[in-house]
Structure 1
Amino acid sequence: MTQLNNRFSTFFLIALMAFFLGCASTSKQEGTGEYFDDTVITTKVITAILNEPTLKSAEINVETFKGVVQLSGFVSSQANIDKAIEVARSVKGVVSVKNAMRVK
């Protein structure tokens, strides 16, 4: 009976470790919690951009990876690029902002 308990305990421990390692993040892949956090940050940045009357938000795309927000798309002026970056940086949880926007 003790041998059966040891086998079960070992199997359970290995399965538990595999589960947690599967949810862990790597430098190129987010863990489950980080993905959820980034989704929340993306939503907050999009909302902040939508609430900024000087920006045409439909032309600005937002992606987030590990708290780093990347803004892309086309805007009408450098002032709009600067404003979008400023708005994104003001959102709680944003680590940094990368600009890939272009003036059309």
Structure 2
Amino acid sequence: MNAPARSPLEGQPAANRGWVAELASPAPAVGAPKGVAEGVLSALRPDPHIGDGRYPIAWLHIVAPRGAVPTATSRCACGRDRSAVGHRKVLALIDDHTAHGGQCPLRTPQEGRNAV
């Protein structure tokens, strides 16, 4: 006597291969989000950390590990991008980066200047 063959998912109904699932339509987005109490503002408030109008324009990145050769990179939002390797060249780049601050077109106003 042979035992009847069991399906691999015992106790589960047999899958209907001819049936196609339908996608549920999204619920209309009307009113406040679910779970929000009445009278509670759901709009985002403005950022409380409002700056003072200053933002970085130029960056000087110096890497000087102990006992190794120092490197430096000077970048500016105006497109200036310079780098240096070695003690003397890094010191020169630091001076050049500082001098660029007074010459950068983004940091010095162009209005009122005489055209050349």
TM range (shorter): under 0.3
TM-score when scaled to structure 1?
A: 0.25
Structure with larger Rg:
2
User: Comparing both structures, which one devotes a greater share of its residues to helix?
Assistant: 1
TM-score when scaled to structure 2?
A: 0.24
Determine which structure has greater relative contact order: mean sequence separation of CA pairs < 8 Å that are 6+ residues apart, divided by chain length. Answer: 1
